[in-house]
Amino acid sequence: MNSEIIKELTWRYATKKFDPSKKITSSDLSTLLNVLRYTPSSYGMQPLKFLVITNPDIRLQLQKASFNQSQVSEASHLIVICAQIETSPNHIDEMTELMSTTRSIEIEKLQGFNNYVKGALKNLSGQEMLLWNSKQAYIALGMFLSNCARLRIDSTPMEGFEPDKYDEILSLTQKGLKAVLVCPIGYRSEEDHYSRLEKVRKPLETLIEFLD
Ligand SMILES: Cc1cc2nc3c(=O)[nH]c(=O)nc-3n(C[C@H](O)[C@H](O)[C@H](O)COP(=O)(O)O)c2cc1C
């Protein structure tokens, strides 16, 4: 077993109280933004947008729309993970073009892929499409949390907020987006006793089953 990895994962915890005086360096922030960029998504469609919010007034408004959880305004940076409301045929075309230029493949050779993705998504209802897009947001969150821990940056994965209010405060609907997850990042406060609590996890014996 790789003890370094386990050490990182047990160092990480859902931070309840950040030290507002400690800020993430621009170098660490760049690393983490690239983690979001390199997150995988189904068919590579990346139906996501990430907002990095430092503006204190906006963050105070968002804190009120987050059951007053103080991490939203006290952390160094606030990341809001948004899903596109839909993955339109036009979006699929744009991503196919990006694949074509990035890998120098003629667009005609990607037509089969393009049709396949369009076919797979065309029968989804609006709600199913948003759900599919939102699932991609959770993958980004998982990658983000573990890489924050590698950098010894604290984080709080958050679903405890009112998405409709976020959409309104951040004018997301008109951009075709929906707030799905929130993740304040920064440095834990010494006063946060949660950092010293034992992790509560099912034992491996009940969590994992081998079918040999
Ligand atoms: C999707 C998701 C949403 C969560 N929402 C919140 C939240 O709104 N506020 C909060 O303080 N913790 C939130 N948590 C943190 C969990 O309660 C925490 O991860 C869990 O109890 C395990 O503890 P640990 O992360 O400290 O190991 C959330 C976690 C996940 C994965």
What does the alpha-carbon distance between residue 54 and residue 73 come to, in Å, rounded to a whole number? Answer: 9
pTM higher than 0.85: yes
User: What's the mean pLDDT when you consider all of the chain?
Assistant: 97
Q: For the chain, what is the radius of gyration of the CA atoms?
A: 19
pLDDT tens sequence across 114-128: 999 999 999 999 999
CA–CA separation, 51 and 62 (whole Å): 13
The residue whose C-alpha atom lies closest to atom 26 belonging to ligand 1 is: 13
Taking the CB of residue 154, how many other CB atoms lie within 10 A of it? 28
pLDDT, one tens digit per residue, over 20-78 is 999 999 999 999 999 999 999 999 999 999 999 999 999 999 999 999 999 999 999 99
Nearest alpha carbon to residue 182 among 153, 161, 152: 161
Please report, rounded to a whole number, the percentage of residues in the chain having pLDDT higher than 90: 100
| Residue 159 beta carbon below 6 angstroms from any ligand 1 atom | yes
Please indicate whether residue 157, judged by its CB atom, sits closer than 6 Å to ligand 1: yes
Average pLDDT score over residue span 9-20? 98
